[in-house]
Amino acid sequence: MIEDLVAANRILAQEGVLDGWGHVSVRHDRDPARFLLSRSLAPELVSAEDILEFDLDNNPVDVPERDLYTERFIHGEIYKARPDVMAICHSHAPPVIPFGVIDIPLRPLYHRAAFIALGVPIFEIRDAAGMTDMLIRDPALGRALAQSIADKPAVLMRGHGATIVAHSIPRLVGRSIFLALNAKLQAQAMIMTQGGPIKYLDPEEARLIEAREGYGLGRAWKAWKKRALETR
Amino acid sequence: MIEDLVAANRILAQEGVLDGWGHVSVRHDRDPARFLLSRSLAPELVSAEDILEFDLDNNPVDVPERDLYTERFIHGEIYKARPDVMAICHSHAPPVIPFGVIDIPLRPLYHRAAFIALGVPIFEIRDAAGMTDMLIRDPALGRALAQSIADKPAVLMRGHGATIVAHSIPRLVGRSIFLALNAKLQAQAMIMTQGGPIKYLDPEEARLIEAREGYGLGRAWKAWKKRALETR
Amino acid sequence: MIEDLVAANRILAQEGVLDGWGHVSVRHDRDPARFLLSRSLAPELVSAEDILEFDLDNNPVDVPERDLYTERFIHGEIYKARPDVMAICHSHAPPVIPFGVIDIPLRPLYHRAAFIALGVPIFEIRDAAGMTDMLIRDPALGRALAQSIADKPAVLMRGHGATIVAHSIPRLVGRSIFLALNAKLQAQAMIMTQGGPIKYLDPEEARLIEAREGYGLGRAWKAWKKRALETR
Amino acid sequence: MIEDLVAANRILAQEGVLDGWGHVSVRHDRDPARFLLSRSLAPELVSAEDILEFDLDNNPVDVPERDLYTERFIHGEIYKARPDVMAICHSHAPPVIPFGVIDIPLRPLYHRAAFIALGVPIFEIRDAAGMTDMLIRDPALGRALAQSIADKPAVLMRGHGATIVAHSIPRLVGRSIFLALNAKLQAQAMIMTQGGPIKYLDPEEARLIEAREGYGLGRAWKAWKKRALETR
């Protein structure tokens, strides 16, 4: 599980989804009240020895105090609110940022991004806390973000980025990559048609795709992982 | 032939045409009722030992059961319907996806994409099978796709990707790359002119270009292959 | 300090912010009337032995005459006018150039580019010197640029590029990268909405972000530096 | 001279200006009636031993027949018509192609592309030869292209690419790179303003920039060359 978490960090950095400040966590497989997350480190530099165990109140367990991600509250609060969620990614992928600051919703037009049909709300931090420095830097903001994502697979964060959740690490990596790719493709289609009609996935198509848990993700996962770990 | 098929997989992965789920096949050079296709593997990882032989009913020949591409039906059904086709590529190249979901047709404006003048239909899977998970996962869907491509060099698949065919592997690789490049250039010209006039290739220009089978593809093929196989 | 200056040159070249003609300087940490800048060399090639010491009149100190950057006047004149500035970058980052030639101002929509809220004027060299070859090739033009940037964090230079200042090298590198990224994201949002409404950062949000000097830049700085120095 | 010609091939391939079919030549420094050009090879693969000598009628001199570029006529015919031209590049750089098929002219908005102010005509091969396969495959087409470029620094070729000329190899490489970059920036500015006003370089600014032969190209040339030759 730690190996996959390290791989997820490296893959998403290599794919341009995570910059130096993104992070990825996974719920502990033997204790649902714990999750694993790196100490404060750029994802491309994360190794097994950097992974720490946290309780759902976002406190590191059994380790002397080390440098922690400011926004670790994203993780604990969503794991608390969403027993179905096994892995979480907080990203600043450039293609999704514009969709957080305009009034045109992100919609799925590409089959690997069918999960978008389940809904991708926008988190407006002003509604939760007024004027802030935009970061999820305490449990209350983490809870507000968890409320915003509700039962959805992802939430855009206005002027900031996105948080994506999934039932497994490979699924999370796929969703994080295809959220950004769908954003790019939808923006392109919107611009090409000057706001004209676009054939999005039908909700039933999206449901049928989502029902096939994993979409054969193993095939790409193997290639992503090899590439990410080799170019260490 | 196997070496060229492996090279095609690697080249198209490296050029950004194939993601972890695309695939490339070639018709057997001594038995037109057989084709070669990798076992289920991301194109960038395909090696000679992964190549399997299939009959035109998409069943692997003479090998114990292994993990196969879900969408292998694309290949057999097109080889059955199109005796002229020697190689097939199924891609999810990002620049072509938007053209599958809007009402503006892809048209050739760049000489290396002249084959687009022969016609690039859009396959609407809903017309063939109603609500699906978008994948060509059985012979009937493969036949529907083969009917849609008819005698054309490529077909866009709405919300999914494209399938490209050709008389040889290098030609297939060229078409797959230049379908995506033309899509990018046409989108750019459309946006720059806000939908104003664009000088596409004249049908006769396209015919003259296509008549020169291969367009000197050997020159680029050599460079693509060297780059793709060296960075293994 | 020299190591960080070399790293800044390499990082900004690797991130696509600096081409072969950009440059980065730092004010001397023990003598505010001196600054360090490479001899005339593409940023990606700069090493410790290339760093020269200059006085604020842009003359190299204690070294035999060597080949110098034509536009070194940018640095001395801004250090003279702005005692708060510790590091300066002159870039031709492609995404910012269009904002220098159109009438739509750059505005912050991404939290890491909050400093844009402090104001990013456009330097029109014609106002300062009429018809020129666009370069800041003498002290008078350097002073005109320093007047234009005034107390702001950056200035766009029409038809040319940008100059960015900061209180430290890591902050300068962050600002230089995020000026370009915000330009890309704002352009994208503008195009997607066809000029419709965009939710920029509130001035108070920007102030709160800026008040947290550094934004945890150390985390990305470590990754950027490792990548830039390893691929030497 | 051969070393610089090889470097130019490699640099322009690495910078994305030349695909597998572009080519670069230089006029012989001791015999203005000769030029040097690679045998038919993708630019990224060109080495010193591939360089052949040609007369201005595009025939290789003193070598047994080898595989030659189909479009070598571009070079001889321009060298004949333009005694001032010392180096020629034929490119298919993607950003310039759209400007060859629309009615909006390329104009200089970035100082390193000031040479565009001298004029960049569009070569319409239909005017010269009616319906063709778009290639400059004989002396007559070469002459037509030479007439179209006239005394200008570059010509766009509709549906095909561009040909760029200069007084030296480094200058040619700079012009080839910045023609594409200016195309990208102008397209971006046009789209951002929805066709609104853009501040192009003043003709006098362009003249002053051009008057400084070389723009300090040596600085970037050194970095480009190192990168291109190291990653052989």
pLDDT tens, A78-126? 999 999 999 999 999 999 999 999 999 999 999 999 999 999 999 999 9
Q: Transcribe B164-206 into DSSP letters.
A: EEESSHHHHHHHHHHHHHHHHHHHHHHHHTTT----PPPHHHH
Q: How far apart are CA B168 and CA B27, in angstroms?
A: 9
Q: Band of the pLDDT at C62, cuts 50, 70, 90?
A: confident
Kindly determine whether residue A195 and residue C191, on different chains, have CB atoms separated by under 8 Å: no
Catalytic residues of A: 71
Answer yes or no: is pLDDT of C215 > 80.
no
Chains contacting B with at least 3 CB pairs below 8 Å?
A, D
Q: How far apart are CA A164 and CA A141, in angstroms?
A: 16
Q: What pLDDT, on a 0 to 100 scale, did the predictor assign at position B66?
A: 77
Q: Are D149 and D124 in contact (CB under 8 A)?
A: no
Show the DSSP H helices in chain A as ranges. Answer: 2-14, 73-81, 97-101, 125-129, 139-149, 169-192, 203-211, 217-230
Residue C178, min C-alpha distance to chain A (Å): 11
Close Cβ partners of D64 (under 8 Å, ≥ 6 residues apart)? none
Q: How far apart are CA C188 and CA A95, in angstroms?
A: 9
Residue B216, min C-alpha distance to chain D (Å): 9
B198 touches chain A (CB under 8 A): no
Q: What pLDDT, on a 0 to 100 scale, did the predictor assign at position C64?
A: 77
User: What letters, b where the CB count within 10 A reaches 16 and e where it falls short, cover B174-207?
Assistant: bbbbbbbbbbbbbbbbbbbbeeeebbbbbeebbe
Q: Are B111 and B185 in contact (CB under 8 A)?
A: no
Answer yes or no: is pLDDT of B164 > 90.
yes
Q: What pLDDT, on a 0 to 100 scale, did the predictor assign at position B230?
A: 83
- Please, what is the average pLDDT of chain C? 95
Number of alpha helices (DSSP H) and beta strands (DSSP E) in chain D: 8, 7
Answer yes or no: is pLDDT of C99 > 60.
yes
Amino acid at A60: P
Q: What pLDDT, on a 0 to 100 scale, did the predictor assign at position D215?
A: 66
Chains contacting C with at least 3 CB pairs below 8 Å?
A, D
DSSP A202: P
Kindly determine whether residue C198 and residue A102, on different chains, have CB atoms separated by under 8 Å: yes
Residue A32, min C-alpha distance to chain B (Å): 32
By Cβ distance, the residue of D184, D199, D216 closest to C94 is: D184
* Residue of chain C with shortest Cα separation from D196: C102
D107 touches chain C (CB under 8 A): no
Number of Cβ within a 10 Å radius of residue A130:
10
D56 touches chain C (CB under 8 A): no
A97 touches chain C (CB under 8 A): yes
B122 touches chain D (CB under 8 A): no
Contacts of B92 in chain A (CB under 8 A): 110, 112
User: Residue B156 — φ and ψ, nearest 5°?
Assistant: -85, 145
Q: What is the largest CA-CA distance in chain A?
A: 57
* Residue of chain A with shortest Cα separation from B23: A219
Q: Band of the pLDDT at C66, cuts 50, 70, 90?
A: confident
- Tens-digit pLDDT profile for residues C173-196: 999 999 999 999 999 999 999 989
DSSP C231: T
Q: Is D169 helix (H, G, I), strand (E, B) or coil?
A: helix
Q: How far apart are CA A158 and CA B204, in angstroms?
A: 51
Q: Which of B8, B53, B14 is nearest to B35 (CA)?
A: B53
B32 touches chain A (CB under 8 A): no
Residue C198, min C-alpha distance to chain A (Å): 5
Kindly determine whether residue D101 and residue B189, on different chains, have CB atoms separated by under 8 Å: yes
Number of Cβ within a 10 Å radius of residue A230:
8
A56 touches chain C (CB under 8 A): no
By Cβ distance, the residue of C188, C197, C223 closest to A98 is: C188
Set C44, C53, C65, C71: catalytic member: C71
Chains contacting A with at least 3 CB pairs below 8 Å?
B, C
By Cβ distance, the residue of A110, A204, A227 closest to B131 is: A204
Kindly determine whether residue C102 and residue D199, on different chains, have CB atoms separated by under 8 Å: yes
Q: Which of D79, D26, D21, D76 is nearest to D51 (CA)?
A: D26
Residue D31, min C-alpha distance to chain B (Å): 30
Residue A187, min C-alpha distance to chain C (Å): 6
Among A9-23, A192-206, C58-72, whose mean pLDDT is lowest?
A: C58-72
Structure tokens at D55: 């007369």
Contacts of B68 in chain A (CB under 8 A): none
Kindly determine whether residue A187 and residue C188, on different chains, have CB atoms separated by under 8 Å: yes
Among A214-218, B6-10, B31-35, C108-112, whose mean pLDDT is lowest?
A: A214-218
Q: What pLDDT, on a 0 to 100 scale, did the predictor assign at position A214?
A: 60
Q: Is C127 exposed, middle or buried (0-12, 13-18, 19+ CB in 10 A)?
A: exposed
Kindly determine whether residue D192 and residue C41, on different chains, have CB atoms separated by under 8 Å: no
Q: What pLDDT, on a 0 to 100 scale, did the predictor assign at position A15?
A: 95
By Cβ distance, the residue of C197, C209, C222 closest to A103 is: C197
List the single best residue of B15, B110, B226 to mutate versus D (max D Cβ within 10 A): B110
User: What letters, b where the CB count within 10 A reaches 16 and e where it falls short, cover C189-228?
Assistant: bbbbbeeeebbbbbeebbebbeeeeebbbebbbebbbebb
Kindly determine whether residue B103 and residue A197, on different chains, have CB atoms separated by under 8 Å: yes
* Residue of chain B with shortest Cα separation from D102: B198
Pairing of strands B161-166, B154-157: antiparallel
A5 touches chain B (CB under 8 A): no
* Residue of chain B with shortest Cα separation from D194: B194
Q: Is D111 helix (H, G, I), strand (E, B) or coil?
A: helix
Q: Are A198 and A104 in contact (CB under 8 A)?
A: no
Q: Are A83 and A64 in contact (CB under 8 A)?
A: no
Q: Which of residues 65-94 of C touch A (CB under 8 A)?
A: none
Pairing of strands A23-27, A87-91: antiparallel
B196 touches chain A (CB under 8 A): no
D32 touches chain B (CB under 8 A): no
Answer yes or no: is pLDDT of A232 > 60.
no
Q: How far is CA A83 from the centre of its chain?
A: 16
Kindly determine whether residue B219 and residue D92, on different chains, have CB atoms separated by under 8 Å: no
- The percentage of residues in chain A with a pLDDT greater than 90, rounded to a whole number, is 91
Set B3, B71, B204, B210: catalytic member: B71
* Residue of chain B with shortest Cα separation from A197: B102
Q: How far apart are CA B17 and CA A228, in angstroms?
A: 19
DSSP B216: T
User: Is residue D71 annotated as a catalytic residue, yes or no?
Assistant: yes
Q: Band of the pLDDT at C213, cuts 50, 70, 90?
A: low
Amino acid at B3: E
Q: Are C187 and D192 in contact (CB under 8 A)?
A: yes
Contacts of B134 in chain A (CB under 8 A): 111, 201, 205, 209
User: What letters, b where the CB count within 10 A reaches 16 and e where it falls short, cover B104-130?
Assistant: eebbbbbbbbbbbbeebebbebbebee
Structure tokens at A197: 């009609």
Pairing of strands C122-123, C87-91: unpaired
- Angle among Cα B228, D184, A109 to the nearest 5 degrees reads 70
DSSP C60: B
Q: What pLDDT, on a 0 to 100 scale, did the predictor assign at position A229?
A: 86
Average pLDDT over residues C150-165: 98
Q: Which of residues 138-167 of C touch D (CB under 8 A)?
A: 158-160
* Mean pLDDT by groups of 10 residues along chain D of 232 residues: 96 96 97 97 96 96 85 98 98 98 97 97 98 96 98 98 97 97 98 95 96 81 90 60
- Tens-digit pLDDT profile for residues B207-221: 999 998 666 889 999
Residue D78, min C-alpha distance to chain B (Å): 22
User: Residue D10 — φ and ψ, nearest 5°?
Assistant: -65, -45
- The percentage of residues in chain B with a pLDDT greater than 70, rounded to a whole number, is 97
Kindly determine whether residue C45 and residue D185, on different chains, have CB atoms separated by under 8 Å: no
Residue B91, min C-alpha distance to chain D (Å): 21
What are the distances in angstroms from CA C122 to CA B191, C27, C126, C147, C203? 27, 24, 12, 11, 20
List the single best residue of A109, A186, A217 to mutate versus B (max B Cβ within 10 A): A109
Average pLDDT over residues B156-181: 97
* Residue of chain B with shortest Cα separation from D190: B192
Kindly determine whether residue A223 and residue B126, on different chains, have CB atoms separated by under 8 Å: no
Q: Band of the pLDDT at C212, cuts 50, 70, 90?
A: confident
Pairing of strands B87-91, B51-55: unpaired
Kindly determine whether residue A98 and residue C204, on different chains, have CB atoms separated by under 8 Å: no
Residue A19, min C-alpha distance to chain C (Å): 8
Q: Are A144 and A129 in contact (CB under 8 A)?
A: yes
Q: How far apart are CA A131 and CA C17, in angstroms?
A: 31
